[in-house]
Amino acid sequence: MEIWHNPSCSKCATARATLDEAQVPYRLRAYLTEPPSVAEVTEVLRRLDARAWDICRTGEPAAVALGMADWARDDDTEARWIDALVAHPELIQRPILLLDDGSALVGRTPESLDEAVRRSDG
């Protein structure tokens, strides 16, 4: 499993602690210093079965400055959203858990972390 994380994020710390306690191996990717490419964000969205705006932190200063809350949310504008996430990785929800089974979860809730542990028991 790979975790896209922010070392100063409490939700990321909770995810790491949960996985450590369950003895689930993982690799960390500090996505703020190792930003994902358009192809990587697109693949993560596919794995999450989500759209770009679903994983965007629209309350962040960069999103507010860009006026993203008012952006259209449709097929024609998704590339614009993805470009913004790549240019401003702090806008990406965290942590994102890329499971070894090819799926992904946003690990912000105890339920999603439990699901990640369950799926990693394979």
The domain ranges of the chain are: 2-120
Q: From 3.30.420.10, 1.10.10.10, 3.30.1490.20, 3.40.30.10, which CATH number describes the 2-120 domain? A: 3.40.30.10
The predicted model scores a pTM of 0.94
Could you report the per-residue pLDDT of 88-112, keeping only the tens digit for each?
A: 999 999 999 999 999 999 999 999 9
Could you report the per-residue pLDDT of 40-88, keeping only the tens digit for each?
A: 999 999 999 999 999 999 999 999 999 999 999 999 999 999 999 999 9
List, in order, residues 6 or more apart from 6 with CB less than 8 Å away: 12, 30, 31, 32, 90, 94, 95
What is the pLDDT confidence band of residue 29, given thresholds at 50, 70 and 90?
A: very high
What is the pLDDT confidence band of residue 4, given thresholds at 50, 70 and 90?
A: very high
